[in-house]
Homo-oligomer: A and B are copies of this chain.
Amino acid sequence: MSDKLEFTQEVQQIARISKALSHPVRVYILQKLSKMNSCCYSGDLVEEIPVGRSTLSQHLKELKYAGLIQGEINPPFIKYCINRKNWDEAKELFTTFLNDNNPEEISCDNAESMINKSTLSGTH
């Protein structure tokens, strides 16, 4: 009851992948690459994305680290592609996470003791 828990692999993986998806540049790259069978030169990307070359390189590195993309070398160019296997795994992971709802079940302890509820506004 009062034991702190270790997060499951699933929770940690979703957090890790979400972190990779937490920047517009990286979402854009993934959106583009996931739609193509082929790959993109970093040089092609830098022309359409409003960041410098070294910054783009960092974002690509992060996506590579997260396993979502992979590179292919053809010097002096480097092409990046979606890592289909991991992309499909991410797809599976998010689909489960987002759809595994049981809105009928009530599982929270003190759930029934709620009276006089008033909805909070969602301000910040």
Contact among B19, B91, B97, B110 with A99 in the assembled complex (CB-CB below 8 Å): B91
Shortest distance between the CB of A98 and any CB in chain B (Å):
4
Copies in the complex: 2
Cα-based distance from A67 to B120 in the complex (angstroms)? 12
What distance in Å separates the Cβ of A103 from its nearest Cβ neighbour in chain B? 5
Chain A contributes a number of interface residues (CB within 8 A of B) equal to 79
Chain A: interface secondary structure? mixed
- Measured CB to CB, the residues of A under 8 A from B are 1-5, 7, 11-12, 14-15, 18-24, 26-28, 31, 34-41, 44, 47-50, 61, 64-65, 67, 70-74, 77-79, 82-84, 87, 90-91, 94-95, 97-111, 113-120, 122, 124
